[in-house]
Structure 1
Amino acid sequence: MDYVLPVILFLTALILIVLAILVKYYKAYWLIAGYNTMSAEKKKNVDVVGLSQFSGNMCFVMAAIFIFAGVLLMAGKEAIAGVVFALLVPVSIYMLIKA
């Protein structure tokens, strides 16, 4: 039962990696929140390639944080895993500001 949280973290990381690959390399722009619902006029003002690169990279970064936190939890380093997991807050804020 001690491995439930790390498994959830690893599965979440896997989902983020798949999303990152789809958005960054396979041009699944419809997965970018807000872009799909924009009017055609507003879409002309968006650098969709740059946005998809940024979104994909940020998904990779968040997946790495989830994986690292999961590994630390499995190693019994709960306090350090909590600090690593808390890195999601500044990363998310950076992503909101930069996008």
Structure 2
Amino acid sequence: MVPPFEHEVSSNGQSAVAEPQTDQGTGLRTVREQVVQAIDPLQKQLDAKLHQLDEALRPRLEQPVKEKPLIAVAIAAAGGVLLGGLTVLAVLAGGRRSN
């Protein structure tokens, strides 16, 4: 027997993906709930590692900028000029295609 589905319509007027209703008495879970339970510990581990990495690297990255702010601004400006120049060259090269 196929479990009943709720039919929902999304904001764009198309049918949304419907999830099967589960009977709370039998303890059946949807696939989404199973995936969430499997991924949740991994997500918590990833969040903890990212927090540790942020605590370790942030002081090492901020110190040179605090000590020499003009050099940091000059490097950022040079990077912007370089990226802008490459973008202009790419646009100009795109307009000169030969058949």
TM-score by length of 1: 0.30
Q: Which has the higher contact order (CA 8 A, sep 6+)?
A: 1
* Greater percentage in helix: 1
